[in-house]
Amino acid sequence: MNQKQFLEHIENTFATGLELVKRKNEDYAVEVNPFQNFDFAKLIGLKPEQAILVRVSDKLARVSNLLRKDDVSVVEESIQDTCLDMLNYLAILMAYMENEKTKTSIL
């Protein structure tokens, strides 16, 4: 893989991740609050940021385990799928923090 191919791969990864997060957000949230599913964390005393990080840590643990194994039990979610989810959760965390900062600066 040369640099051009590398950058095209990264670009495709982000484009695929964006399409995935769009579809999933429609299932997990509402238009007026794209973070709705993470707000449920407050019911058990967690901040939404912490809930997002829990999801990232779940995905990190899965990737770590899958890299050590030759076979997987859940074949529907590949290492690539798990990495894409982790990438999306980190992007969601960044968006959430920006949203909170904007809400704070307006008040």
Domains of the chain: total: 1
Distances (CA, A) of 12 to 15, 88, 91: 5, 14, 16
- pLDDT band of residue 107 (cuts 50, 70, 90) is low
Phi, psi of 69 (to 5 degrees): -105, 155
Residue 41 has pLDDT above 70, yes or no: yes
What mean pLDDT is reported for the chain? Answer: 92
Domain that holds residue 30: 3-106
Q: What are phi and psi of 30, to 5 degrees?
A: -125, 160
Note whether 92 and 22 are within 8 A (CB): no
**pTM as predicted:** 0.87
Residue 75 has pLDDT above 80, yes or no: no
At residue 70 the predicted structure's pLDDT band, cuts being 50, 70 and 90, is confident
The C-alpha atoms of residue 20 and residue 60 are separated, in whole angstroms, by 18
